[in-house]
Structures are given as structure tokens and as C-alpha cells.
Amino acid sequence: MLSLLQGVSEATILPRFRNLEASDIADKGKNELVTIADRESEVMLAEGLEKIVPGLAVVGEEASDKDPSVLDGLNKHCWIIDPIDGTGNFASGNPPFGILIALADAGKTQSAWIYDPLTQRFCTAHSGEGAFVNGERVTARTTGMTLPVAGISTLFMEDGLRDKIMQHIAPHYTLADIPRCAAEQYPRLALGINDVTIFQRTLPWDHAAGALWLNEAGGKVARNDGAQYRVDEWDRPGLIGAASPVLWNELAERMAKLGE
């Protein structure tokens, strides 16, 4: 898998970083951009994954944007691809951005790969086997801050929920900048950079890989009510990630009170 991700990065992602023409960037709407590098890398990744395990459904972000029926593959044994997570950053010539790949079956993620083309950080996990960074097993650790460090993404929240979170949740945490890149946000939760995060939108290409990886590292990712994240429930809003189950529970309790 690493050779595939490195090859795609070197062939089409890195050569276009800070080298995009205006015509290479398009607006998909809803605060979403796509670049020529997204489209080309998704095709290359899909071709490479077919060679690794032939015959599986492939659910790619860009393919499903063009043809929503592609999402039907989430009910099967499938690959899930985000060819460039953090496209807004990439299109602006800024890090972070990364590649997210997940292997799922019957709605549950089995394996995860997260690759940062700039730093070559390679996060991997297989269900029940732990989480790794560049081949070294990792255990999620907290920042140790008195006020835990929170990355709270309010971008896709309705105004009412956003206001409640900033009024009732934010004061309990030290707020950190949002990387707008799940391929960066999930590693931050295990590597002592952030303690907790809140996601509203839970698309499979953004969260399938990261959720498994952080859970395997000993952190916790789950729906606000504690339910497991499933790739076939991608249209269900709300997801909490934390560097430890204790921190997850504290934030989930505060979130639950917002509805009282």
C-alpha cells in the first residue's frame, strides 16, 4: 500500500502542489473544491487498489460526486478513497493535506491507511491489531493540558448548534486551529497535539480510515450517542473523537446537555 500511495503522490499530487492553474480548480459547491490532482489521483488509486484485491467495489469521493449510485458500494466489501483530503488547503498552496484509504465490509472499517505526501507520515491500522505510524506501534496520548485542547469543526453546523457549542462547550477547552483535513486531525488526537474534536459531517472518505486508526490507538471515536461509526451511515451527522475514552465521555456528556 505504501508504494501505491507514494507513487500516486509523486506522479500527480506533489507536482501540482503550488503549481495549479485557475482552470485546474473547480467549485463543487457547499464549501468544497476539487482539483485536477484530486481526479487524477483517485483514478490511479482505484487502479492500484484493484490490483491489490481485485473485484471490490470502489467508493471514491470524486466518483460519487459525479454519480451518487457509487455510494451503494458502501453496503458491500469495498475500498473507500479520499484522493486528497484537505483539497482547500492543497488548492491554496498550503498544508496539511493527505490521502485516506479504507477497506470496509458490511458497513464496518477493517483496515485504514493515512498518508501525508509532504512529510511521508504513514498511519496504518487493521481491526484488532493496533495502530502504527511509519511502522511503529502508537498508543494515543493526551496533551496533559489543564483545559484539554479541542479542535472543533463548526463549518457544516447550523447556526443554532454552532452557537450552543461555542457558548456551552468551548469554554471548557483550549481551542486549537482546525486543519480542515481529517488526515491531519485524527493523527493529532493520538500524538499529543489535540485532545478532542467534534465533527458534524461524517462522510466515509473523511472518517472511515481515521476513526478505525484512532480507536486502534486506544483513543475513542464514536457517534455522539456512543454508537460505532459505520461507513454506510454517512448521512448521519455528529461524531466525537478523543485521545482517551475518559475525554470522550466528558465531551459526550456536555454535548448531550445541549439538547436538554
Question: Which residue ranges are tagged as binding site for Mg(2+)?
Answer: 61, 82, 84-85, 206
Strand 78-85 relative to strand 57-60, pairing: parallel
If you ran DSSP here, which 8-state letter would residue 166 be given? I
SS3 23: helix
At residue 226, what are phi and psi to the nearest 5 degrees?
95, -5
Strand 57-60 relative to strand 174-175, pairing: unpaired
The grid cell for 143 is: 496533551
Contact 46, 81 (CB under 8 A): yes
Between CA 237 and CA 260 the distance in angstroms is: 18
